[in-house]
Structure 1
Amino acid sequence: MNIRFLRISCLLLLLLSGIGRGFGQESSVLEILNSTSLEGTRGMERLLGEVEMKHQSSLIFCDSAHFYRAENRARLFGNVRIQDIEDPITTTSAYAEYDGNTKVAKLRRNVVFTNQETTLYTDYLDYNRESNIATYFNKGRVVDSTNVLTSERGIYEVNIERITFRQDVVLVNPDYTMKTNDLIYLTIPKTAETKGLTNIISKAGYKLDAQKGSFYDTQQKQFRFFEGIVETEESRVKAEELFYDEEKAYYEGKEDVRVLNKERQVEVFGERGQYWEDRKYSLVHGNALVRKYFESDTLFMAADTLISHDSEADTAKYLLAFHSIKLTKTDLAGIADSLVYNYSDSSIRLFQDPVMWNQKSQISADSMVFFIANEELDRVYMKDKAFAIMTDTLLNHNQMKGRTMTGYFKEGQIETLDIDGNGESLYFALEADTLTQGINRILSANIKLTFQEGAIRKANFGIRPDGQFTPVQKIDEKISRLEGFQWRIEEKPDRTSIDAWRKPIEIDPDQENLFNEPDVRLEMPTEEQIQKKLGKPVLNPAKKKLIPDSGKVDF
C-alpha cells in the first residue's frame, strides 16, 4: 500500500472525527457579536460601546468588556445583562466576570437575578450555568408574588426551584414575618422549611415559635412546628410536633401537648391533642392532665381523655374528663370514672363511684357535685347511696349515710351536713376529746349535723328518730360500722401520684427568640482603624495586592 495514501487517509479520519465532535457538542467558545469599537493589546481585546457577546444559549450585554480570547473569559463593565435564550433567566449587574470554560459568571454590585416570578437582589452572586445554580453571599433578597426573603447567604438551584437561605433569614409575608437561620424555600409550591430555631409573628399578633424547625405552606397558610409553641391573646398551644392551619384556626399536636386558656386559667396536657380556636374547643388524650390556676393554689386533675369547650354561651363552658379520674388540691382530693367541670359556676360533677377527701373527711355516692368559691371548697351535693366518714381526734370513724347529702364547708373544713331520705348516723361520743364513751347510732328521715374542726358538735333529727347508744365496753367491728362502710384513704391521690401520671416540663420564659435580637449590629473597628484615628503609625501594615496586567481578579 502506498505510504503517502495511508498518511492522507489517517489525516482525513482525524479531521472527520473532529467535525463529528463539533456537530455533536455545543461550542463553549465566547463569541463577539457586536461592539462599537475593538482594541487589542497584550492578549486582551477591549470592546467599547454596545457590547454584545454570546456563549452557548446565553446572550451577554454590557457597556464595555475586556475579552481574553486565549483564556475564553471576559470582564464586563457597566449595565451588564446575561440573558438565557432557552430559559426565562436574566441577570443584571454593574460588573461581572464570565468564564466560558467553567460556565461561571461572577456578578458584583446591584445584581438582579430574575427567573419568571422570582427575583433575587444582591451585590455578590456567582452563577454556574452548567449546574444552573446561583450562589450569593454578603446579603441577598428574594422576592416572588407572595413573599420577600432575606439572608446573609443563599443558594438558588434553578432546575428544582429551590433556594436555601442561611444566617439571619427573614421571610416577610402579607400575613406574618418569620426569622430563622436556616431555611429552604421552594418557589413553585411556595413552601418554606426551616432547621433549628424559628420565630414567627403574624399580622394579627400571634406568636409562633419552634425550637427544632418548621415547615410552612405559604399559600395554604399551614404550619408544622417541631417543639413548637403558638401563642395568641387568648391561648397558648405547645407540642413536640404541632400542626397549625391559620385559615381554619385549627391546631393538632403530638407528644407533650399542652393547651392554655388564658381567660379561664386552665391548662390541659396530653400526648395527642386537637384545638379549634374559633369554637374554643379542644380534645386531648393520652395521660391527660388539667391544671386550673387560682391566685394562691392550683387544682390538678389526671384522666385518660379531656374535652374542653369555652364558647360564648355560659352554659357551654365546660371541661369533660373520662376514665381513671384523679384530682387534688391543697384542701381536697378525689377519684371517679368521669367528670364535668362547669366554668360558669366553678362546679365539678363526678360520676361512677366517685370518692372525695377533705382533710379529715371522706364522702362517696353514685354521683356528686361540689362547688369552689374564692379558691376553696364551698359545698358538695351527693346523690344516691351517699356516705360520709369523718375522723375525730382519736381517729374514730364517724359515719353518715342517706339518699342525698349536702355538705357546707368553711375555710376548707366541713361545717354542716344535711342528710335527706333514709338517714343514718353513727358517731363516737367522746369525753373531753380524749376518751371514747360509746357510739350513738340514729335512724331518721332527715339529719343535720354541725361540725367543729372535723368533729360532730351538734345533731338535729327529723320527726321521731330511732336512736341507740352502745357503751364502749360493747363496741365491736359490726357495731362500729354502718352498712356500706369503706375507708379508702389508700386510694387518695396526691401530687406524687399526679406527677407519676404526667409531670409537665415548664416552658422557659427566657428561651431564645430571634425577634429579641437587634436588627443593627455594631462592628468593632480594626486595629488599623484605631491606630489611624489615634494618629499613630500602623505596625506591619498589610501590603495591597496588585492586580496583574492580565486584569484577572480573584473573587
Structure 2
Amino acid sequence: MNSSLKSFCLIAFFFLPIFMIRAQENNALEILRADSLKGAMGFERLLGSVRMKNQSTLIECDSAHFFRADNKAKLYGRVFIRSEEDSVTTRSAYAEYDGNTKLAKLRTNVVFTNMETTVYTDYLDYDRAGNIAYYFNDGRVVDSANVLTSEKGRYEVNRERITFTDDVVLVNPDYTMKTNFLVYLTIPKTAETKGLTNLISKDGNTLDASKGSFYDTQAKNFRFFDGLVETETSRVKADELLYRENEAYYEGKGDVRVLNKEREVEIFGDQGQYWEDRGYSLVHGKALVRRYFETDTLYMTADTLISQDHESDSLKYLLAFSSIQLVKSQMSGIADSLSYNYSDSTIRLFQDPAIWDNRSQITADSMTFFIENEQLRKLFVKNNAFAVMTDTLVNFNQMKGRSMTGLFENGDLNTLDITGNGESLYYALEGDTLVQGVNKTLSATIKMTFVEGQLKKVNYGVKPEGKFIPVQDIGEEGGKLEGFVWRKEEKPTMEKIFAWRSVNEVDLEAENLFEVPEAEIRMPSDEEMQKSLEKWDTNTNKGGLIPLKKVKDFSNE
C-alpha cells in the first residue's frame, strides 16, 4: 500500500466517529426548555412546560422521562406534537417518542389533526418518517363532510388516504354506511369498500352491496357490486349498479331487475337504466317481465323493454320488442311487439301474434286483450282473424273473419263474435265419440258459444251459406279453412320462459350489518372476579382457593 493511500485510510478512520456522532446528533432529541431537570447518567426527568425537538418535530408536554442514550422519551400530560414542515398535529395524555425511528406512540384521549381531518382515539402510533398514523382499539375520523369510525385505521397523510377495517361506520347528513373494509380519500371525499356494505339514507332508503362499493360522498354517486337499492316504491338490483342520487338515475349491468312495488311489475334483463323521478326504465338483453297478481303471475319475455309509469303522465305503459312470449295461468301468447297499458290492464300484440288458452288458438295481424280481476276477460282480434278450437276428439274447429271479439270465463273461451266475411268449419260429432262430418258456413257475422272450452251453439247472421260434408268425403283439405295453421309448437310454456331467463330471487333475509347487535363484552373488575371466586369456593366447599388479596400479599414478599 503506498503512503498516500495509507494516509487517506488513517484520516477516514479518524473522522468516522465524528461523522457517526453528527449523524446521531441530527436525529437526537433536544431539550429546548423545562422548569426543572433532574437526573443524570442517561436518564433525566423534565418537569413543567417541557419543550423538546427532533429535527423538524416539536414536542410539548407537562413532564417527560428522557432516555438520552437511547434517544427516546416518555411524555406525560397534555402532550402536543407538531411538525414545522406540514400541518399535522397530535395531542394526547401520554406518549412515547423514539428519535431514531421518529415513531410516536400516543395513548389516551389522542387527537390527530391534518387540516380539515381529525382522528380521535385512545391508541395511535404515528410514524413521522413515513407520515403514516395507525390506530387500534376503536377510532373516529371527522372531516367537513363525514364521520367514520372503526376498530382499526391506517392514515397515509401524504396520500390523503385512510384505510378502515373492522366494524366500519360512515355517517354524513344523508347516509349511514356500514362495512368491514373501507378506503377513504379525504380530498375528493370518496369511499371504496370491499365485501358486504350496507347503507341507510335519511329517507329510509337502503343501498346494499355484497361485493363492495364506491361512493362519492359529495357528488352522491354510488357504484355497487352485486348491489341492491330499495325505496318505498321501487327495488333495483344488478351485478354492477350505478346510482346517481341527485339525478335519481340508476344504471345496471348483469342480471338487472327493477321492481315497481305500486304496479307490482318486475322487469329483468342483462342491462338497464331507470329514471326514478320520471318512472321511466329501459331494459334489454334477454328481458323478462313479471306482473304480480293476487293469485297468479303474468310472465313475458322480450329483447327490449321500455316502461313509463309516473303520476304526472296520463298514459302509463310498457312496451316490448322482439321475441315476445306471454304465459299466464292457462293463457299464453307470442308476438313481435307488445304494449301494455298499466291503467286498464290492456295488452296489445302486433305483427303476427298468436294466443292460446286451454283448447284454442287465435291469430291475426294484431290483437288486444283485457285483464280484469286477474283474469283474461275480453279479446279483440283485428284483420285476418283466425280461431281454432279442438274438440274431445282433437278435431280442429275453425273460424275466421275480418275481426273477432271473444269473452272468457275462468280462463276458457265463453263466446266468440266474428264480423266481416265470416267463415266457420266445425266437426259434427255423435255422442262426442264419432265424427259424422263437417259443417262449413259463410256468414257476415257468426256468434259461437262454448261451455268449458267446447263449442255448444252457433248463431249466424242474415242469409248464411252452408254445407255439410260427410266424414267419408272430407279428404285431406276438406277439414281446413284457407289460412289454417296449427302452431302449437310455438306455444310458450314456463319451461321456455325459464330457458329464456332463469331468475335468482332476491334474498330478503341476507346478512345486513345494521341488524348485527352492537353488544360490548366488558371485562369484570378485580372485585367482581374475587366475589365470583369466593362464591364458587363456598358452593363447591373445597376451600382450596386463594383470595386475590393474598395473592398480592405473596407477590410483595
TM class, shorter-length: over 0.9
Match runs of 1:93-172 below 5 Å = 93-172=92-171
SS in 1 for 2:91: strand
SS in 2 for 1:27: helix
> How far did residue 205 of structure 1 move?
1.2
Q: Report the count of equivalent residues.
A: 543
Match runs of 1:443-454 below 5 Å = 443-454=442-453
1:321 aligns to what?
A: 320
1:211 aligns to what?
A: 210
Output the CA distance in 2 between the equivalents of 1:8 and 1:40: 43
Stretches of structure 2 that go unaligned for 5 or more consecutive residues are: 538-543, 553-557
Output the CA distance in 2 between the equivalents of 1:287 and 1:529: 66
Output the CA distance in 1 between the equivalents of 2:7 and 2:321: 97
2:540 aligns to what?
A: none
2:426 aligns to what?
A: 427
Deviations 1:310-365 (A, max 9, x none): 01146421111110111111120011111111111101111111000011000000
SS in 2 for 1:47: strand
Output the CA distance in 2 between the equivalents of 1:156 and 1:507: 37
CA contact (8 A) 1:321 1:340 kept: yes
CA contact (8 A) 2:150 2:168 kept: yes
CA contact (8 A) 1:258 1:267 kept: yes
Distance 1:303 1:6, change over 3 A: closer
Is 1:297 equivalent to 2:320 in the alignment?
A: no
2:459 aligns to what?
A: 460
Distance 1:112 1:350, change over 3 A: same
Output the CA distance in 1 between the equivalents of 2:223 and 2:191: 10
Deviations 1:92-121 (A, max 9, x none): 000000001111000000000000000000
CA contact (8 A) 2:530 2:548 kept: no
2:378 aligns to what?
A: 379
> How far did residue 23 of structure 1 move?
8.3
Output the CA distance in 1 between the equivalents of 2:213 and 2:449: 61
SS in 1 for 2:39: strand
Match runs of 1:33-48 below 5 Å = 33-41=32-40, 43-48=42-47
Output the CA distance in 1 between the equivalents of 2:32 and 2:89: 18
1:240 aligns to what?
A: 239
2:277 aligns to what?
A: 278
Deviations 1:454-496 (A, max 9, x none): 2221112111111111111211221100000000111111110
1:490 aligns to what?
A: 489
SS in 1 for 2:101: coil
CA contact (8 A) 1:315 1:344 kept: no
Distance 1:147 1:487, change over 3 A: same
CA contact (8 A) 2:105 2:126 kept: yes
Letter in 2 for 1:180: T
SS in 2 for 1:316: coil
When structure 1 is superposed on structure 2, of 535-544 and 346-355 the one drifting more is: 535-544
Distance 1:26 1:286, change over 3 A: farther
2:541 aligns to what?
A: none
2:172 aligns to what?
A: 173
1:507 aligns to what?
A: 506
Output the CA distance in 1 between the equivalents of 2:364 and 2:455: 21
2:555 aligns to what?
A: none
Q: Name segments (4+ residues, structure 1) moved above 2 Å.
A: 5-26, 313-316, 519-534, 536-544
> How far did residue 448 of structure 1 move?
1.1
CA contact (8 A) 2:278 2:310 kept: yes
Output the CA distance in 2 between the equivalents of 1:440 and 1:135: 93
Match runs of 1:344-359 below 5 Å = 344-359=343-358
Letter in 2 for 1:441: K
Distance 1:415 1:107, change over 3 A: same
> How far did residue 393 of structure 1 move?
1.1
> How far did residue 520 of structure 1 move?
3.0
CA contact (8 A) 1:155 1:163 kept: yes
Stretches of structure 1 that go unaligned for 5 or more consecutive residues are: 545-555
Letter in 1 for 2:166: Q
Output the CA distance in 2 between the equivalents of 1:526 and 1:389: 87
1:367 aligns to what?
A: 366
Q: What is the identity percentage for the equivalent residue pairs of Structure 1 and Structure 2?
A: 65
CA contact (8 A) 1:325 1:335 kept: yes
Output the CA distance in 1 between the equivalents of 2:156 and 2:265: 48
CA contact (8 A) 1:429 1:440 kept: yes
Output the CA distance in 1 between the equivalents of 2:190 and 2:86: 23
Is 1:54 equivalent to 2:53 in the alignment?
A: yes
Output the CA distance in 1 between the equivalents of 2:245 and 2:69: 59
Letter in 2 for 1:483: E
Match runs of 1:474-553 below 5 Å = 474-523=473-522, 530=529, 532-535=531-534, 536=537
When structure 1 is superposed on structure 2, of 34-43 and 179-188 the one drifting more is: 34-43
> How far did residue 9 of structure 1 move?
6.8
SS in 2 for 1:515: helix
Letter in 1 for 2:218: Q
Letter in 2 for 1:310: D
Deviations 1:352-385 (A, max 9, x none): 1100001100000000011111111101111110
Output the CA distance in 1 between the equivalents of 2:41 and 2:16: 34
Letter in 2 for 1:264: R
Output the CA distance in 1 between the equivalents of 2:431 and 2:169: 77
SS in 1 for 2:418: strand
Output the CA distance in 2 between the equivalents of 1:6 and 1:266: 92
Deviations 1:506-534 (A, max 9, x none): 11121100000122334475999556424
CA contact (8 A) 1:528 1:538 kept: no
Letter in 2 for 1:460: N
Is 1:390 equivalent to 2:381 in the alignment?
A: no
CA contact (8 A) 1:73 1:99 kept: yes
Deviations 1:378-404 (A, max 9, x none): 011111100000011111111000011
Output the CA distance in 1 between the equivalents of 2:60 and 2:526: 42
Normalising by structure 2, we get a TM-score of: 0.93
Output the CA distance in 2 between the equivalents of 1:6 and 1:195: 62
Output the CA distance in 1 between the equivalents of 2:524 and 2:144: 40
Deviations 1:217-247 (A, max 9, x none): 1111100001110000000000111110010
CA contact (8 A) 2:234 2:258 kept: yes
> How far did residue 411 of structure 1 move?
1.1
2:70 aligns to what?
A: 71
How large is the RMSD of aligned CA atoms in angstroms?
A: 2.4
CA contact (8 A) 1:331 1:376 kept: no
1:547 aligns to what?
A: none
CA contact (8 A) 1:314 1:344 kept: no
Distance 1:528 1:508, change over 3 A: farther
2:405 aligns to what?
A: 406
Output the CA distance in 2 between the equivalents of 1:357 and 1:523: 69
Letter in 2 for 1:448: K
SS in 1 for 2:204: coil
1:29 aligns to what?
A: 28
1:190 aligns to what?
A: 189
CA contact (8 A) 1:26 1:56 kept: no
Letter in 2 for 1:515: F
CA contact (8 A) 2:286 2:500 kept: yes
> How far did residue 541 of structure 1 move?
8.1
CA contact (8 A) 2:530 2:547 kept: no
CA contact (8 A) 1:167 1:181 kept: yes
Output the CA distance in 2 between the equivalents of 1:504 and 1:8: 87
1:550 aligns to what?
A: none
Output the CA distance in 2 between the equivalents of 1:470 and 1:38: 128
SS in 1 for 2:27: coil
